[in-house]
Amino acid sequence: MEYGDRPISFRRNTATKSMKLLQILLHCGENGIARAKLLENLYGREELADVSNNLRVTSHRLKKMLVDAGLPEYDYIQIKSGIYRWNAPMEAEVDALMFSHLVELGKAETDEEKKIQYFCQACETYHGEFLPGLSGEDWVLLESVQYKKKYTYALEEICDYMIKQREYETVLKLCDTASELYPFDEWQSVQVDCLMALNRYKEAIQIYEDTAKLFFEELGISPSEKMMNQFKEMSAKMSHKPQAINEIKGGLKEDEEEDGAFYCNLPSFRDGYRLVRRIIERSGQSVYLMLCTITDGKGHPMENKDKLTAMSDELYYAVKHCLRRGDSFTKYSPTQFLILLVGTNQENCGMIFNRISRYFAREHKSWEQHLEYYVSSIADVENDKSRISFRSNGFHWD
């Protein structure tokens, strides 16, 4: 909130019922909200002895909170015919309401250019999930879904129009923001189309690879068929462009020499696995696949997201630090890392895991009980004797 040019701070009061009441009233605008609906949104399924008294107390605290924050003395809550409304001596601008109004103006506009202007203003106003601090509230969830639908509609209209006008840079900028807000909605596909139209194939391929990595690591799936086809088209066009040998060598080299195991995204790991499998058909070298899993300490998948993120980051560094430069690994799922161990044996696999486990728990000794592993030779994987299997375009854990 801002009052004039000055930000309003509520200090420690941001998660209180009073703050929730303020957000509800501001969002309902001049239409207000019926008392019964207000009580439902404010208290949900809480069992209170005297709901009316609680609402009076919350309203009083909100008025005092606003004055303490620097707003003028005023009766900010108007109650008329059972309808509660925000009532202030100054005009209130609410970004969510402005966004929704701009989208509706765009839908009603018949002039194409003006329509797109409204939609562009709406997209500039939109900053992501509606009231993320209250995302567990039913009414917030419903509103958030509707706002996202409006944002998607407006952005699709803009992209269709701008691409016809060949204004690719504008579309790239808008979709860059959309990809940050909603990374799994494949706005990257629109960016790829624009970059291909600009003959910027390297950038397009980079976006595809980054998106593929994101989808595999976070969701365990491949990008859509459309993105896969885009990649094939980009690769075909890139292959027709002659390149000097030095440029090719430069593109193959690692950016810098790094110690430890080589990390790659799941599609790249899959290709590396296939190559190693072919090599050992002649060499007879021993190669093992190891799956390291983060658990809740009782053998079940870790569900605490914050703790999982911290542990996953630590496991990444543990694997990288404890393995050789000739070994490779990837993040198979949010709780699992898959490691390709070349030139080792079954006994050494146990020693390798113990080394990873000790490094993983070096600062938090209790973390050691949260790590489990499974290992299988490539030969067993290929003979279906392993819980790790290799089918189609991915690895599977049974």
How many Å apart are CA 362 and CA 371, to the nearest integer? 13
Flag whether pLDDT at 391 surpasses 60.
Answer: no
pLDDT band of residue 171 (cuts 50, 70, 90) is very high
SS3 at position 292: strand
* Chain segment 199-220, per-residue pLDDT in tens: 898 899 899 888 888 887 777 6
Dihedral sign for Cα 261, 310, 302, 350, please.
positive
pLDDT band of residue 258 (cuts 50, 70, 90) is low
Contacts of 42 (CB under 8 A, 6+ apart): 17, 20, 21, 24, 55, 58
Residue 52: what pLDDT? 80
Residue 248: what pLDDT? 46
* Chain segment 93-130, per-residue pLDDT in tens: 999 999 999 999 999 999 999 999 999 999 999 999 99
Please state, for a pLDDT cut of 70, what percent of the chain lies above it.
88
Helix, strand, coil % over all residues of the chain, rounded to 5: 60, 15, 30
Residue 216: what pLDDT? 73
Q: Mean pLDDT highest for which of 88-92, 161-165, 268-272, 380-384?
A: 161-165
Beta strand segments in the chain, E: 2-3, 6-7, 33-34, 77-80, 83-86, 262-263, 287-294, 328-333, 336-342, 371-377, 388-391, 394-397
Q: Lowest mean pLDDT of 2-11, 92-101, 176-185, 285-294, name the range.
A: 2-11
Q: When comparing pLDDT for 92 and 231, which is higher?
A: 92
Task: Give the predicted TM-score (pTM) of the model.
Answer: 0.63
Find where tokens 């709406």 sit.
Answer: 122
Residue 168: what pLDDT? 94
Contacts of 377 (CB under 8 A, 6+ apart): 286, 287, 288, 289, 346, 386
Flag whether pLDDT at 244 surpasses 50.
Answer: no
Q: Lowest mean pLDDT of 166-175, 259-268, 379-388, name the range.
A: 379-388
Dihedral sign for Cα 343, 347, 351, 354, please.
positive
How many Å apart are CA 121 and CA 98, to the nearest integer? 10
Helices then strands, counting H and E runs in the chain, come out as 15, 12
How many Å apart are CA 276 and CA 150, to the nearest integer? 49
Beta bridge partners of 374: 291
* Chain segment 218-243, per-residue pLDDT in tens: 776 677 888 888 887 877 766 545 44
Residue 395: what pLDDT? 56
Flag whether pLDDT at 257 surpasses 50.
Answer: yes
| Three-state secondary structure readout of 141-209 | HHHHHHHHHHHHHHHHHHHHHHHHCCCHHHHHHHHHHHHHHCCCCCCHHHHHHHHHHCCCHHHHHHHHH
Residue 15: what pLDDT? 59
How many Å apart are CA 120 and CA 112, to the nearest integer? 12
